[in-house]
Amino acid sequence: MRTAPTILHLDMDAFFASVEQASKPSLRGKAVVVGGLGPRGVVATASYEARVFGVHSAMPMGQARRLAPNAAYLVPRFTLYKSISERVMELLRALSPLVEPLSLDEAFVDLEAGGVAWDEPSARLAGVKLRADIRAVTGLTGSVGLAASKMLAKIASEEAKPDGLVVIEPGTERAMLGPMSVRTLPGVGPATGDHLRRAGITTVEEIVEAGEDELVRLLGKAHGHGLYAMALARDDRPVVAERETKSVSVEDTYDVDIHDRTRVGLEVQRLAERCVRRLRGAGLSGRTIVLKVRRYDFSTLTRSETLRGPTDDPGVIREAAARLLDSVDTTGGVRLLGVGVSGLADYTQEDLFAQAAGERAVAEGPVEEHAAAAAEEQPSLAERRWPAGHDVRHAEFGHGWVQGSGLGRVTVRFETPDSEPGRVRTFRVDDPDLEAADPLPLVLRGPDGGGGVPGAESQAVSSVPASLPKSWSGSGGGAATSRP
């Protein structure tokens, strides 16, 4: 294990919601919830203002609306989030060749491998500069944790939130971890946490006091050994630049349970087509076809079939998914369906079955692809054309975003990332002067191509939570008051 805090963990602050606040002046400082807006939608991200009311990611959207009825509820704009994420990842890769993305808004970086840090002062300097660069390029804030291991760096970034930097100095790890909840450690979810609590173990220090043998007795050999090592702050996992894709899958949750068997079959075929498009887009093929069915009673069934060789043939994957569906009873209703492909490879193995199915796919493909695209857009006309939060442009009023739609009307607030909060106007959904638009940049470009946050003012930020031991070290950057 290294002796300097040269592993960095970056976690963008309430990423999706912060992007929405940065692009919509009227939402800055307000509760914002991003996610699926249907009856069975879930929260993807909640702004810190929404979290005050108890809203959090993965919460059912209905529950979020009850907790924060006055929040702004927006449909995700994943293309925009991905483009901003790519700019952040470029900054990370400028620091080191060893960058391990965990999601669009989170990554580990090995600073020592990039030659930019070798001790605590140099690591801190790299972290401070990174946060400043992210703000300049995106207008957003990210929290940084620095430690000698991945586990500790992630814990440090969590303690640094929001908009802070925390360094765990070598030699202080055990004292820092001791009083923390067992849920702080990776791999300790609700079930494991409850199991340990029933055994009288609620803190990391109590894991150490219980001893390795007791942990193995309670949790099994692999989990027990691993958890005991983490409680002792032992984590030798390296930062891995390339994370291998293990599967490609798609799934849909339905607002109303599907009871018609024919409709279920058509949905499975549509999902298989979408899965193939993702598979081919990644240049991959796979041997194992997986069907996921969540029934009316929330029971989830998974069926799989392994082929003789990897394929990306739509006919083969559709037929395999249909065969798997034949083995599942859906008479009570289906609330979720998914199709996936695993056992991935970067080549395909043709066989007679694939060729025959492929010939049918060539004849049927274009028709089914259009049908799949149409089937993906089931909401009403207003909801389909004008999702809440998405960008629009009006011939007279300029750029804006959709506040809501329904009953043949769409309400738009006209504002841009660098404007004052804008005015609201309502139009017919088929108004010829209103059209969908691309998102505007969050940060204006200067003459030299550099970024700047319009109207930003400096504000002191304390990044060391009061509950942290004195051996922890934090530093905060400036916070733009015109940005979340």
What pLDDT, on the 0 to 100 scale, is given for residue 244? 66
Query: In percent, how much of the chain has pLDDT > 90?
Result: 55
Which tokens sit at 24? 């919509």
User: What is the rounded CA–CA span in Å between residue 276 and residue 284?
Assistant: 9
Looking at residue 190, its pLDDT comes to 79
What are the tens digits of pLDDT across the range 47-89? 999 999 999 988 889 999 999 999 999 999 988 998 999 999 9
Cα 25 off chain centre by: 24
pLDDT at 346 over 80: no
Q: Which of 63-72, 216-225, 362-371, 449-458 has the lowest mean pLDDT?
A: 362-371
pLDDT band at 19 (very low <50, low <70, confident <90, very high): very high
H-run or E-run covering 190: helix 190-198
Q: Return the structure tokens found at 359.
A: 């010939």
Confidence at residue 479, expressed as pLDDT on a 0 to 100 scale? 32
- Reduced to 3 states, what is the DSSP secondary structure of residue 121? helix
pLDDT at 426: 95
pLDDT digits (tens, 9 = 90+) for 392-429: 999 999 999 999 888 899 999 999 999 999 999 999 99
**Residue matched to tokens 């500790």:** 152
Contact (CB, 8 A) for 38 and 388:
no
The arithmetic mean of pLDDT across residues 161-188, rounded, is 90
Tell whether the model's pLDDT for residue 174 goes beyond 80.
Answer: yes
| Arithmetic mean of pLDDT over the chain | 82
pTM, entire model: 0.69
**Does position 110 have pLDDT exceeding 60, yes or no?**
yes
> Which positions ≥6 away from 219 have C-beta within 8 Å?
192, 195, 227
Alpha-carbon separation of residue 441 from 103, 147, 444 (angstroms): 22, 34, 7
Report pLDDT for 457. Answer: 34
Q: Are 207 and 215 in contact (CB under 8 A)?
A: yes
Q: What band does 1 get if pLDDT is binned at 50, 70 and 90? A: low
- What is the rounded distance in angstroms from the CA atom of residue 166 to the CA atom of residue 153? 9
Predicted pLDDT at 439: 94
Percent of the chain at pLDDT > 70 equals 83
Q: Is the peptide bond before 162 cis (omega within 30 degrees of 0)?
A: yes
Amino acid at 93: R
Question: Is the model's pLDDT at 373 over the cut of 50?
Answer: no
Q: What is the mean pLDDT of residues 90-96?
A: 95
- Which sign, positive or negative, has the C-alpha torsion 373, 374, 377, 381? positive
Provide the sign of the torsion angle of the four alpha carbons 93, 97, 98, 101, taken in this order: positive
Using the 8-state DSSP alphabet, how is residue 42 labeled?
B
Burial of 55 (0-12, 13-18, 19+ CB in 10 A): buried
User: How many C-beta neighbours within 10 Å does residue 63 have?
Assistant: 14
Q: Which residue has the higher pLDDT, 37 or 321?
A: 321
Q: Quick one: pLDDT at residue 374?
A: 34
The pLDDT of residue 348 is: 54
pLDDT in tens, 245-286: 678 999 998 878 899 999 999 999 999 999 999 888 888 888
- Tell whether the model's pLDDT for residue 158 goes beyond 90: yes
Q: Which residues are known catalytic residues? A: 106
Q: What is the DSSP letter of 181?
A: B
DSSP 441-457: PSSEE-TTS-EE-TT--
pLDDT at 363: 36
- Find out whether 339 and 275 touch, Cβ atoms under 8 Å: yes
Higher pLDDT, 13 or 472: 13
What would the two tokens of residue 247 be?
Answer: 């599967």
Judged against a pLDDT cut of 80, whether residue 115 lies above it is answered with yes
